[in-house]
Structure 1
Amino acid sequence: MRLRKVLLATTLMAAAPVAASATTITGPYVDVGGGYDLTLTQGMHMRDYTNGGANSRKQNMGHKSGWGGYGSFGWGFGNGLRAEVEGTYIRSNLSGSSHYNGAHNSGKDSSYGGFVNLVYDIDLKQFGIDAPVTPFIGAGAGYLWTDQHANYSNGNGFSGKVRGNRGGFAYQAIVGAAFDTGIPGFQVTAQYRMIGQPGSFRNGSYNYSDSESAGHVGSNHRFNNMFMVGLRYAFDTAPPPPPAQPYTPPPAVTPARTYLVFFDWDKSALTARARQIVAEAAQASTHVQTTRIEVNGYTDNSSARGGAAGAKYNMGLSIRRADSVKAELVRDGVPASAIDIHGYGEEHPLVPTGANTREPQNRRVEIILH
Structure 2
Amino acid sequence: MKNEDEKMRLRTALFATTLMAAAPVAASATTITGPYVDIGGGYDLTQSQHAHFAGDAGGSGGGSATYRHQNGFTGFGSFGWGFGNGLRAEVEGVYNYSEINHASNASANRTRGSDQSYGGLVNVLYDIDLKQFGIDAPVTPFVGVGAGYLWQHYNPTQSNYANGNTTRLGGTNGGFAYQGIVGAAYDTGIPGLQVTTEYRMIGQPGSFTDGAYSGTSITNGHRSTGNVNFDHRFNHQFILGLRYAFDTAPPPPPPAPVVAPPVVTPARTYLVFFDWDKSNLTARARQIVAEAAQASTHVQTTRIEVNGYTDNSSARGGASGAKYNMGLSIRRADSVKAELVRDGVPASAIDIHGYGEQHPLVPTGPNTREPQNRRVEIILH
- Answer whether TM exceeds 0.5 for this pair: yes
Q: 1:203-218 residue pairs with structure 2 within 5 A?
A: 203-210=212-219, 211-218=222-229
Task: Give the deviation of 1:238 after TM superposition.
Answer: 4.7
Q: Supply the distance in 2 between the matched residues of 1:133 and 1:245 (Cα, whole angstroms).
A: 31
Task: Give the deviation of 1:61 after TM superposition.
Answer: 1.2
TM-score by length of 1: 0.63
Q: Supply the distance in 1 between the matched residues of 2:254 and 2:85 (Cα, whole angstroms).
A: 19
Residue in structure 2 matched with residue 310 of structure 1 by the alignment: none
Residue in structure 2 matched with residue 30 of structure 1 by the alignment: 37
Q: Which amino acid aligns with 1:124?
A: L
Match of residue 166, structure 1, among 159, 168, 173? 173
Q: 1:1-370 residue pairs with structure 2 within 5 A?
A: 1-48=8-55, 55-149=61-155, 150-200=157-207, 203-210=212-219, 211-236=222-247, 238=249, 240-241=251-252, 244=255
| Percent sequence identity over aligned pairs | 61
Give the superposed CA RMSD: 2.4
Q: Aligned pair in 2 of structure 1 residues 2, 99: CA closer, same or farther (>3 Å)?
A: same
Q: Supply the distance in 2 between the matched residues of 1:24 and 1:111 (Cα, whole angstroms).
A: 32
Task: Give the deviation of 1:9 after TM superposition.
Answer: 1.3
Deviations along 1:5-42, one digit per CA (max 9) or x if unpaired, are 21121111111110000000010000000000000000
Q: Supply the distance in 1 between the matched residues of 2:217 and 2:60 (Cα, whole angstroms).
A: 15
Q: Supply the distance in 2 between the matched residues of 1:230 and 1:216 (Cα, whole angstroms).
A: 39
Query: Where do 5+ consecutive residues of structure 1 fail to align?
Result: 252-370
Q: How many residue pairs were aligned? A: 250
SS of structure 2 residue aligned to 1:183: coil
> 2:103–2:159: 8 Å Cα contact kept in structure 1?
no
Deviations along 1:286-337, one digit per CA (max 9) or x if unpaired, are xxxxxxxxxxxxxxxxxxxxxxxxxxxxxxxxxxxxxxxxxxxxxxxxxxxx
Q: Aligned pair in 2 of structure 1 residues 205, 100: CA closer, same or farther (>3 Å)?
A: farther
Q: Aligned pair in 2 of structure 1 residues 183, 249: CA closer, same or farther (>3 Å)?
A: closer
> 2:123–2:147: 8 Å Cα contact kept in structure 1?
yes
Which 4+ stretches in 1 moved above 3 angstroms? 53-56, 200-203, 237-240, 242-251
Larger Rg: 1
SS of structure 1 residue aligned to 2:31: coil
Q: Which amino acid aligns with 2:31?
A: T
Q: Aligned pair in 2 of structure 1 residues 18, 177: CA closer, same or farther (>3 Å)?
A: same
SS of structure 1 residue aligned to 2:24: coil
Q: Supply the distance in 2 between the matched residues of 1:112 and 1:135 (Cα, whole angstroms).
A: 27
Query: Where do 5+ consecutive residues of structure 2 fail to align?
Result: 1-7, 263-381
